[in-house]
Amino acid sequence: MIIGSKERLPILASDREEKFPVLPLRTGVLFPGMMLTIQVGRHDNLLLIEQSKSGKKQFIASYSPPRYSESEPAPIHQVGVLAVVRDIRPGPGNSEIVTIEGIKRIVISKIVQTKPYIVAAANYLQPHDKASRNVQVKMDEVMSVVKEITGLDPTYSPEQLNVLKMNRDEHSLAADMVASTYHFPLEAKQDLLETVNLELRFERLLNYLNAELSRVVTAHNINANVQKNIEEEQKRHFLRQQLHEIRKLLGEDFAEEKEAARIRNIIKNTPNMPPEVVARGTIEADRLSQLSTASAEYGVTKNYLDWLLALPWGKCKPEDYSMSEVEKVLSTEYYGPVSLKEQILQRLSVRKLLGGVNEGPTLCLIGAHGTGIAAIAKAIAKAMGKEFIRISVGGISEVSEIKGMPRTFLGAMPGKIIRALRDAGTCDPVMLIEDIDYFNIENDSSVNMALLEAIDNRVNSRFLDNYIGVPFDLSKVVFICSVRSYEEIPEQFIPRFEIIELPGYIEKEKIVITKRYIIPKLLKKHGITKTELKFTDRILARIINHYTMEAGLLGLSQQLEKICRKVALEKVSKRRKSWSMTERNLETYLGPPVYIPEKAEIQPEIGIAAGLAWTGAGGDLMFIEGLKMKGEGQIFTTGSLGEVMKESIQAAYSYVRSKADMLGIDFGDFSDFDVHIHFPSGAIPKDGPSAGVTVCLVIASVMAERPIRNDIAMTGEITLRGKVLSVGGIKEKVSAAFRAGIYNVAIPKENQKDLKDLPKEILRKTKFTLIERVDDLFELCLLDFTPSSYTLEKIFQEEIKKAKKKKPRATKSKTKAAKPKSKK
């Protein structure tokens, strides 16, 4: 197959066509006047070379692009070069290395035969016209470009430029010489071979030369940059070696290089270290090796690397704990509500199923000091087999204290979270964060968000400390926060917290916890044995009631510690060998009682009722007093009351006025008398609606002049319609009544479910009255109260309903119902 030329060819007119053998060229293009060395391996081509080796028999050398299979004849270009063989040498295998020389261009018209090799009929081309001035100008441009290429690329011999200058008058030969010598694509060379017109050939030759020049310039720049870098590296290495020899002569010990090598070894041998940490550590170690130990930057870099390598990257303990064992440990180490333990077991079950990752909200425990928050956190850590960390964030007001300070600042160091993990040596400890209520007093939202970024399980898998500079995974840390009350939790934290309230301990629970946990720990701490110092339940109850007023056990522990210190002094002085606390000698160790518990009144009185209150110290008995006096129908309140409590008093007063008929109160009394309500302990602020039923009873008592039972305590919120609503802290309130010797308690009916949390002893001895309306409380607590008018009023209303159905009997029923009222 013949590949036709794209150009119009000036074929020399002739009467006959000459026939020549054709040698297809795959690896090069032969130009007239040029030599080309090729490797011939095909049988038909070897036969052609064998017949032409004398150098006298001519053949056509035509470029054959590699687009055919071995079984098909090779396609050849229409324009080739008439050539002769100049040299033959044996090649590898059965091939031969042949050097051929081109004589002149020739045009193949048709293929005559293909066996034993290709034979084609061909025509000669017309001779070139005289070169024009444009050809001479382009020849000069070619020479200029060739000079540039030769100067930049060492692969081109400078002699080629000289040879080209010697043949600059032979324009066609010079163009063919450049096309043959320089590294053009084979298709480009064939294009130049087929271009017979000199002016067009030089134009295309310039285009190809400019492309080659661009390639050569790019390669030269790359090589120059590489050479420059190599020279700089060699220079640094040479100077480093000189410095090494100088320091060696001065007797220096190369401490920075040894330290850098040690750090690289630690990085290499530390498993589970993230790739970004490895990269940062390697860079800093290389910098350290270049610094002098006397420079300030050396100390900063060394300190940073110490922190980076000391962190527990990927050091986690397996989640192989069993839930039965966890439940057993929680029951042994912590004495508290069963519901709290169940919630913790549920959270740990989810964590175990997820392979140690926390997906839910952060646990927040609300309770007063000494209510066992730290104890439950320690129990969780022990049950899971994790390290326990306890940190306080109280007083923190800057982001840098949470997320660290950048290394560029003097005295910079990581934040509190990262420092705690470094001390723990593991990336999955149980971390108790205390004093959230004292955190960020100025309420700077950026500080709140910094802490939330650390403890929020949604985003803390890549927590970025400003000092460390690379993310640290906090998603496996079990964060537990603690706060005293719900109102003191920062606003940004509430949506991401699972809040669990820890109720205060009652007296019975305090005694059990003290004997089981606190006393053995204090005895061991002070070097006293169990047989040397003994406490009875009665003595512990006296200390709880007369020397402490708290919901937790912190104050009780401090009082017992005072006793232990005095006993330790007596033991060292060898005054006694055993001690037993009694009511007689208790004041010797603790002094006179600090608190006097409230007790029930000796007899019923008008205008005084026992209310139940919940405070930060637990449940308390509060006697609410009231009296009436001549006035203008006003109501006065004293006792440091809050707005909610004042509104509750006003609602109670209005309800009593609405029930004046039922209570037997003259309506004129409400305008002729003032009522004064007083809450004791005026120095202590009080607020809340739970004293509503008690206040209502006191107002009814003073206005109706009926005494109130002294053996009953009550709590509940009231509405203007007389309904009693549920309140909180039932467990603590009932326990306060029990301590005061009051075994009758009135509570809202809706709070019946809260009685299950009370100890069995209180449930057995206390009688509970569930009230839905205040009217029930009047009948229960007011002495000499018979709601006859109330009963007649109900009868009266029923008779009216009957009268609507039976009109003749309506007047009689109404008259009969009114007679008892007129007699009264």
- What is the tens place of the pLDDT at every residue in 580-629? 888 888 888 888 888 877 676 778 888 899 898 877 666 788 889 999 89
Q: Which candidate, 789, 783, 655, places its Cα nearest to that of 722?
A: 655
Q: Tell me if residue 733 is catalytic.
A: yes
Specify whether the CB–CB gap between 689 and 696 falls below 8 A.
Answer: no
Whether the per-residue pLDDT at 491 is higher than 90: the answer is no
Instruction: Report CA-CA distances (Å) from 500 to 168, 451, 482, 509.
Output: 99, 20, 10, 19
Task: Say whether 398 sits in a helix, a strand or coil.
Answer: coil
- 491-515 mean pLDDT: 86
Q: Phi first, then psi: what are they for 649, rounded to 5°?
A: -65, -40
* Confidence at residue 791, expressed as pLDDT on a 0 to 100 scale: 44
At 353-407, the pLDDT tens digits run 888 888 789 999 988 888 888 999 999 999 999 999 999 998 888 999 999 999 8
Identity of the residue numbered 406:
P
Q: Which candidate, 691, 663, 667, places its Cα nearest to that of 779?
A: 663
Q: Which candidate, 438, 452, 447, 437, places its Cα nearest to that of 488?
A: 437
Decide which of 34 and 732 is more confident.
34
Within 13 Å, how many C-alpha atoms sit on residue 226's CB side? 6
Catalytic residue among 557, 690, 701, 735: 690
Q: Token pair for residue 521? A: 């720990």
Best mean pLDDT range from 546-560, 611-625, 799-813: 546-560
d(Cα 561, Cα 581) in Å, to the nearest integer? 13
* Partners of 579 in beta bridges: 533
What residues have CB less than 8 Å from 667, skipping those under 6 apart? 660
d(Cα 730, Cα 752) in Å, to the nearest integer? 9
Dihedral sign from CA coordinates of 208, 209, 212, 213:
negative
Whether the per-residue pLDDT at 686 is higher than 70: the answer is yes
Q: Which candidate, 292, 274, 288, places its Cα nearest to that of 468?
A: 274
Catalytic residue among 508, 571, 686, 733: 733
pTM above 0.85, yes or no: no
* Confidence at residue 67, expressed as pLDDT on a 0 to 100 scale: 63
Decide which of 121 and 814 is more confident.
121
d(Cα 303, Cα 249) in Å, to the nearest integer? 30
Q: Where are the beta strands (DSSP E) in 639-773?
A: 673-678, 712-714, 717-718, 724-725, 744-748, 767-771
